[in-house]
Amino acid sequence: MSADKMFASLIAEMEERIYHRVMGELKTHQPEERRLSIVEAAEFLGVSPETVQRMCKQKQIPHIPLGAAGSKKPRVVFSSLTLFEYIRQKERESIS
């Protein structure tokens, strides 16, 4: 095998290893999508469930009401990814 072919083969192998390592790191650090209850959302945010309920009523936090239209007490769930982005947004707003 010529030196050029060996060098090209080595570069290709290194590129492949780097690609798989980077993709593995990205998967590791990317939060997983989950639906959270009020209690779970409160734990995620570090506040009480009552605070989360109040924030929902005041439309301060993204949430998904579930139940019949016009229901007086719909079940509320949250997207973990949306809450993660909500926290990021609040962080950015705090320094601008």
DSSP classification of residue 70? T
pTM summary value:
0.62
8 Å CB contact between 67 and 75? yes
Place of tokens 């469930």: 49
Residue extents of the structural domains in the chain: 1-30, 35-94
Query: What pLDDT is recorded for position 62?
Result: 95
Q: At residue 28, does pLDDT exceed 70?
A: no
Q: What would be the CATH architecture of the domain defined by 35-94? A: Orthogonal Bundle (1.10)
Query: What pLDDT is recorded for position 30?
Result: 60
Of 26 and 80, which is predicted with more confidence? 80
Nearest to 60 by CA among 74, 75, 47, 73: 47
**How many Å apart are CA 54 and CA 5, to the nearest integer?**
66
31-90: per-residue pLDDT in tens? 678 999 999 999 999 999 999 999 999 999 999 999 887 777 789 999 999 998 899 898
